[in-house]
Amino acid sequence: MKKTRKIKVGSLVIGGGRSKQIVIQSMTNTRTKDLRQTLTQIKQLENAGCELVRVAVLDQEDAKSIFKLKKQIGIPLVADIHFDYKLALLSLKSGADKIRINPGNLGRAENLKKVVDLCRKINTPIRIGVNSGSIEKEILNKYKKPTAEALAASALKNLAIVESLNFDKIVLSMKHSDVLANIKAYELVSQKVDYPLHLGLTEAGTFLSGAVKSSVTMGVLLHQGIGDTLRISLSGDPVQEIGVAKKILKALNLSKDQIEIISCPTCGRTTVDVEEIASRIEEATTGISKDLSVAVMGCLVNGPGEAKRADLGVSGIDRDNDYLMFFKKGKTLKKIHKNEVVNFLIKEIAKF
């Protein structure tokens, strides 16, 4: 990964150029002041593997809630603020580990200065987050459209404003809804700065569309060594974002602590419900941190051979058979009843 500055966010470090430090984050979609719901969602995110959570701060009650939330969660918290610098100040005083702002929408210059001054005083970082909808008029006039170049120019302009206030604990993001423009904007900014970059795509869509667009975007960038933290944006339950983020990192070999589930695409030889068994195993192993691959294959003819690289797995035997064959590294070992297969694999996984 590209070597970037290390920025401390609570107990986490973002940046530094080491792949294992790519931080997975998400954002709650509850009303932040609804402590019960927000806490429940943060716990769900935390259990799924979220390392940093962001909450929207719309008013003073939201900002004050941060104090109570922080007492009950185990991961650092980011306050997301638009327009009202006083909410940024209150969020910081309530214990936010980082704030996300767009310096251009906080009003007068002295408002931003007050926020930056407090961040410096209490050693709290800022994410400068711009997106294709927030590009300043003069930049849009120059580029005519919200192009990648315009978005990069907006990010660099806002960065320069915050730097001019003698502050450098900064994470940058520049999100576009167009995949190619998003990739280019990050590439352009990455060439110019060594601040950690928060990867994301704005308005990515519902689960399938968002997961695909995000995977393409993050895949291209992370493969070039660009990116220090990522948030997958999906319309819906944010817990799903964590699963997608983990799978992107795993696919790029940037994460060693997840169980990879391999399952065959099924064909005319399939003798078991591969999708159902694979989904059950995936669900049962979510949250288990191990560098391990588990295969679910549809037939004995090709299954164990095709899944030779898997550490362990099961395959169908023949139609109307209630048993599956268990194998390790492609070597068939014993038959397991279909009702026992998930529990059996969990026990086998525990041995690794």
Q: Shortest gap between Cβ of 215 and ligand SF4 (angstroms)?
A: 23
| Listed residue (185, 171, 176) closest to 127, CA to CA | 171
- Binding flag, residue 210, ligand SF4 (CB under 6 A): no
> What region, left, alpha or beta, does residue 16 occupy, with left being phi > 0 and alpha being psi -120 to 50 degrees?
left
Is residue 230 within 8 Å of residue 25, measured between CB atoms? Answer: yes
Q: Shortest gap between Cβ of 181 and ligand SF4 (angstroms)?
A: 38
Using the contact rule CB under 6 A, the part of the chain among 13-21, 66-74, 294-302, 336-344 near ligand SF4 is 294-302
Cβ-closest position to ligand SF4 = 298
Q: Shortest gap between Cβ of 193 and ligand SF4 (angstroms)?
A: 47
Kindly give the pairing relationship between strand 170-175 and strand 23-27: unpaired
Options 49, 103, 129, 298; binder of ligand SF4; rule CB under 6 A: 298
| 3-state SS class at 172 | strand
Q: Shortest gap between Cβ of 325 and ligand SF4 (angstroms)?
A: 12
Residue in this structure with the two tokens 């104090």, named with its chain if needed: 67
Structure tokens at 242: 């964590």
- 203/282 with CB nearer ligand SF4: 282
Q: Shortest gap between Cβ of 77 and ligand SF4 (angstroms)?
A: 44
- Binding flag, residue 302, ligand SF4 (CB under 6 A): yes
String of contacts with ligand SF4 for each residue 251-270, x by CB under 6 A = -------------xxxx-xx
Could you tell me where the beta strands, DSSP code E, fall in the chain? 7-9, 12-14, 23-27, 52-57, 77-81, 98-101, 126-131, 170-175, 198-199, 229-231, 259-263, 292-297, 312-316, 323-328, 331-337
Count residues contacting ligand SF4 (CB under 6 A)? 13
- Binding flag, residue 297, ligand SF4 (CB under 6 A): yes
Q: Shortest gap between Cβ of 280 and ligand SF4 (angstroms)?
A: 17
Residues with Cβ < 8 Å from 239, sequence gap 6 or more?
26, 41, 44, 45, 48
Options 49, 76, 200, 303; binder of ligand SF4; rule CB under 6 A: 303
* DSSP code of residue 27: E
- 103/316 with CB nearer ligand SF4: 316
Is residue 298 within 8 Å of residue 327, measured between CB atoms? Answer: no
- 284/301 with CB nearer ligand SF4: 301
- 75/264 with CB nearer ligand SF4: 264
- Binding flag, residue 299, ligand SF4 (CB under 6 A): yes
Residues with Cβ < 8 Å from 236, sequence gap 6 or more?
206, 207
CB atoms inside a 10 Å sphere around CB 107? 11
- 166/268 with CB nearer ligand SF4: 268
Q: Shortest gap between Cβ of 298 and ligand SF4 (angstroms)?
A: 3
Torsion of CA 171, 176, 181, 183, to 10 degrees: 40
- Binding flag, residue 103, ligand SF4 (CB under 6 A): no
Q: Shortest gap between Cβ of 307 and ligand SF4 (angstroms)?
A: 8
- 224/266 with CB nearer ligand SF4: 266
Rounded distance between C-alpha atoms, residue 183 and residue 286, angstroms: 30
Q: Shortest gap between Cβ of 338 and ligand SF4 (angstroms)?
A: 15
- 144/320 with CB nearer ligand SF4: 320
Using the contact rule CB under 6 A, the part of the chain among 88-96, 141-149, 171-179, 298-306 near ligand SF4 is 298-306
In the chain, count H helices and then E strands. Answer: 12, 15
DSSP element (H, E) containing 180: helix 179-192
- Binding flag, residue 306, ligand SF4 (CB under 6 A): yes
Rounded distance between C-alpha atoms, residue 327 and residue 303, angstroms: 10
Note the residues at the interface with ligand SF4 (CB under 6 A). Answer: 264-267, 269-270, 297-299, 301-303, 306
